[in-house]
Amino acid sequence: MEFKHYRIDKDLIIIGAGVPGICAAIQAARLGLSVALINNRGYLGGNSSAEIGVSVDGADGAQEFNHYSREAGIVDELRIEDLYRNPQKNRYIWDTVLIDAVRKEPNIQVFLNTNIDKVEMNSNKEIQYVSGSQLGSEKRFDFYGHFFLDDTGDGTVGYLSGAEYRMGREAKSEFNERIAPDKADDYVIPSTLTFHAADTGKPIRYIRPDFAIDLTKTDVLKYRVIPKNEFWRFHWFYEATGKINQIENSEEIIQMHRELVYGIWDYVKNSGEYPSEQYDLIYVAPVPGKRESRRLMGDYILKESDIVEQKDFEDTVGHGGWSIDLHALDGFFSKDLVNEHIFLKGIYQIPYRTGYSRNIDNLFMAGRCMSTTHVAFGTTRVMATLSTLGQALGAAAYLCCKYDTTPRGVYKNHIKELQQLLLKYDQYIVGVKNEDPKDMARKAEVRASSIRKCMMEEDEDVRALDNTLGFILPADGLLESVSLKLKASADTELRYKVYEPVKKENYNPENKIAEGVIKVKSSESFIWVDLPVNRSIDKNKIFIEIEANPVIKVAYANKNLTGVVTMEKVSNKGATLVDIDTLKMKEFIWRTLKTTTLCFRTKPEQDVYKAENIINGYARPYGLPNIWLSDDKVEGEFVSLSWPEKKSLSEIILYLDSDLNHRIHFRPADNNLIPEIVKDYNVYYKSGDSYTKLHEVRDNHHRVNRIDAKGVQTDEIKIEFLATNGCPRVGLYEVRVYGME
Ligand SMILES: Cc1cc2nc3c(=O)[nH]c(=O)nc-3n(C[C@H](O)[C@H](O)[C@H](O)COP(=O)(O)OP(=O)(O)OC[C@H]3O[C@@H](n4cnc5c(N)ncnc54)[C@H](O)[C@@H]3O)c2cc1C
């Protein structure tokens, strides 16, 4: 007897339902491809799944200056939905968010508990089908597709198809990487077995199993700390070794993890150093979260210098920004630092060519099997970053089918179309703007009820200038001066320097353009003090470094204003944060002050929040904030788009302010909404002299809103806003209007 055998035919077969694979599936399905999404475990989400429980992070984590770099697109849609339903970060609720997201797409068929173990080729360059059996159902499936996407993490489909791959660390010399070892080896970043414990309300005894390590008989606690404040859960650095093969030796590695985890729990329970008497283990994952194994080789291999120098790629389709974060190879038992976060100057671009195999013609690879060196992988490996490539590959598969071409053919002939398609689906592609000829909004005349001035006058808070401050604000054209609201308890001098970031996506103090020393008289009350700049800025921002001065107090407003950021320079003592230029530990880092902004004015006023921003092609800050902001009022505020002649509409798309500087990873558990996102609004179209209501939106919490406008003939649409989720003003990045084809 054999398992029953089934044949499944789809346009795109995705093997591995990690977050990048899910984003690829959703993108391809929304573009009309039929998709099989196959996962060998019962939960969606790979390492973020309920089984392993790692949270999704991206370009806005482990960094200093990556403001407004949070990914948009599908991964952000998933994260915002999770924030809404699950501020408590329960991993089982995250699972339900993922299940709902894929079930909402009728073109996706999900196969859980289905392990792919065989690849059949058409020729030595093309996969014909992949095959695997399903746990529990005694079924074997052959999945035939035009294109295949490997998101298995281990690159299993690539390996079985004969795709070129690497595993381990390249030598310094191969890609001229400063961070790489002198000699190449097989070592990788180690894995972690996750666990959780909970307070049961009664004393619980724990007897160390015979197989577990007695940590007190080792010297490991000289080098490693089991945190007192969070003893009840795993920490990422509870790692096994990265010096043995993560695939071939995976069973030995699991056993090593169990010895470690149950040994750590013994120490927590029985050393007397933790208030753990009533705690009991409630979950130990059945499999470790793997960090690194095979990397499949694409037409391009992303390397250290691409990331450090923020190289521009003509085939950029996504971005990253997490630090280069390589861990100690012996994991928990290493005597080295647990890791080093080598902080980048800003975000970097991900070229499309890292997402398809160089020698298998119909194979894409997303997730950690994408084509990078080991060093570059140290930053690309976070899930939101990998998901930007995942989404791009879903769209590329659609273009492959549309033009009957290969993934490489899309690179050669359709890369601009790929980028434009992705922008429409809210992907951030650094420096690329909407040039969609079908978007009628680009030719509309735009009006708005009001426009926010770029200033913050009302003070709500006072802080001593104990730390040096960094103040970032948008500027366009001649900037004579910036004024701050402050008072001094004695006559003093205020020293400042003004920088302009070189790249439009950056926010760092890079190119010094002005500096000065201002005499400040002692005063009882706040005074406005001018800091001369006298430089012309081309659609960018400036970073003013204001030197600490203990006799000065500065006025703040407890509000955010898009594109305006206040930072303070603090000591880096105790943290493993490394300077990218010197590769030495940083002495200081710039830390962002959240929900508070220095009171300021500029001369002349910077007109950066104008209505025309909603059709300027950028749906997020790049150089300037590129957003329309209403004055500090919501109800009754509106924007309208009009044309000289009537148009037949089909769809209106709004890209709302979703505070792209809001780090979802570190969300406060008591708030499940992003305040900036518009909650209630109505859409009208003009018929004759009056407006007819087309659509009413209530309780919205998403950034991208698509409005069906089929059948509408009009020369004007108007969007009237009623409420946000807490922000005192309306923020709208982009409006697109599509007509009947
Ligand atoms: C402990 C730990 C902490 C981390 N911390 C973070 C963090 O805070 N933030 C962050 O963003 N990233 C973090 N990472 C990194 C991140 O989790 C990974 O880089 C990421 O999950 C890789 O995504 P992936 O989809 O390539 O692989 P995975 O997430 O591993 O997903 C691969 C999927 O493929 C399935 N699969 C494998 N083989 C087969 C097969 N033969 N057939 C069918 N299905 C198969 C697997 O079951 C799995 O669901 C961490 C990793 C670990 C281990």
pLDDT tens digit string along 454-488?
999 999 999 999 999 999 999 999 999 999 999 99
Amino acid, res. 94: W
**Residue 425, both tokens:** 């689906």
Q: What mean pLDDT do residues 659-681 have?
A: 84
**Residue 7, both tokens:** 């044949």
Is the bond leading into 509 cis (omega within 30 degrees of zero)?
A: no
Amino acid, res. 512: K
Q: Are 379 and 340 in contact (CB under 8 A)?
A: no
The number of C-alpha atoms within 13 Å of 138 and in the hemisphere containing its C-beta is 4
List ligand 1's pocket residues with C-beta within 6 A. 15-18, 20-21, 38-41, 46-47, 54-57, 115-116, 132, 151-154, 156, 191-192, 236, 289-291, 367-368, 381-383, 386
Residue closest to 737 by CA, chosen among 698, 688, 683 = 683
pLDDT at 23: 98
How many angstroms is it from 383 CA to the middle of ligand 1? 8
How many angstroms is it from 39 CA to the middle of ligand 1? 12
Q: Which ligand 1 atom lies nearest to the CA of residue 369?
A: 26
Residue with CA nearest ligand 1 atom 25:
18
Within the chain, how many helices (H) and strands (E) appear? Answer: 11, 34
pLDDT at 573: 83
Residue closest to 388 by CA, chosen among 357, 367, 409, 358 = 367
| Residue among 196, 371, 383, 387 to mutate when testing ligand 1 (max atoms within 8 A of CB) | 383
Element (H, E) at 701: none
Q: Give the residues across from 110 on adjacent strands.
A: 37
Q: What mean pLDDT do residues 608-632 have?
A: 98
The number of C-alpha atoms within 13 Å of 675 and in the hemisphere containing its C-beta is 16
Q: How far apart are CA 41 and CA 47, in angstroms?
A: 11
Q: What mean pLDDT do residues 182-195 have?
A: 98
pLDDT at 723: 98
**Residue 129, both tokens:** 């089908």
| Interval 111-122: pLDDT, tens | 999 999 999 999
Instruction: Please list the residue range(s) of the chain that carry CATH number 2.60.120.260.
Output: 440-451+609-739
Confidence of residue 337 (pLDDT cuts 50, 70, 90): confident
How many angstroms is it from 551 CA to the middle of ligand 1? 51
List phi, psi (to 5°) of 27. -60, -45
| Residue among 47, 54, 250 to mutate when testing ligand 1 (max atoms within 8 A of CB) | 47
Res 124 pLDDT > 90: no
| Interval 362-389: pLDDT, tens | 999 999 999 999 999 999 999 999 999 9
Q: Which ligand 1 atom lies nearest to the CA of residue 39?
A: 44
Q: What mean pLDDT do residues 269-297 have?
A: 97
pLDDT at 668: 61
Q: What mean pLDDT do residues 193-206 have?
A: 98
How many angstroms is it from 49 CA to the middle of ligand 1? 9
pLDDT at 123: 87
List phi, psi (to 5°) of 72. -105, -140
Res 574 pLDDT > 80: no
- Residue owning tokens 């009171």: 599
Residue with CA nearest ligand 1 atom 24:
367
Res 669 pLDDT > 60: no
Res 196 pLDDT > 90: yes
How many angstroms is it from 94 CA to the middle of ligand 1? 15
Q: How far apart are CA 736 and CA 441, in angstroms?
A: 5
Instruction: Please list the residue range(s) of the chain that carry CATH number 3.50.50.60.
Output: 4-169+297-316+340-424
pLDDT at 576: 85
Res 538 pLDDT > 70: yes
List phi, psi (to 5°) of 195. -150, 160
Res 203 pLDDT > 90: yes
As a dihedral over the C-alpha atoms of residue 150, residue 152, residue 157, residue 162, rounded to 10 degrees, the angle is 90
Amino acid, res. 390: G
Task: State whether CATH 1.10.3720.10 applies to domain 4-169+297-316+340-424.
Answer: no
How many angstroms is it from 355 CA to the middle of ligand 1? 17
Q: Exposed, middle or buried by CB within 10 Å (0-12, 13-18, 19+), for 496?
A: buried
**Residue 135, both tokens:** 């746990």
pLDDT at 666: 67
Q: Are 640 and 717 in contact (CB under 8 A)?
A: yes
Domain 440-451+609-739, architecture per CATH: Sandwich (2.60)
Res 276 pLDDT > 80: yes
Q: How far apart are CA 262 and CA 265, in angstroms?
A: 5
Q: What mean pLDDT do residues 519-546 have?
A: 97
Give the chain's mean pLDDT.
Answer: 96
pLDDT at 594: 85
Q: Which CATH number fits domain 461-603: 1.10.3470, 1.10.287, 1.20.1510, 2.60.120?
A: 2.60.120
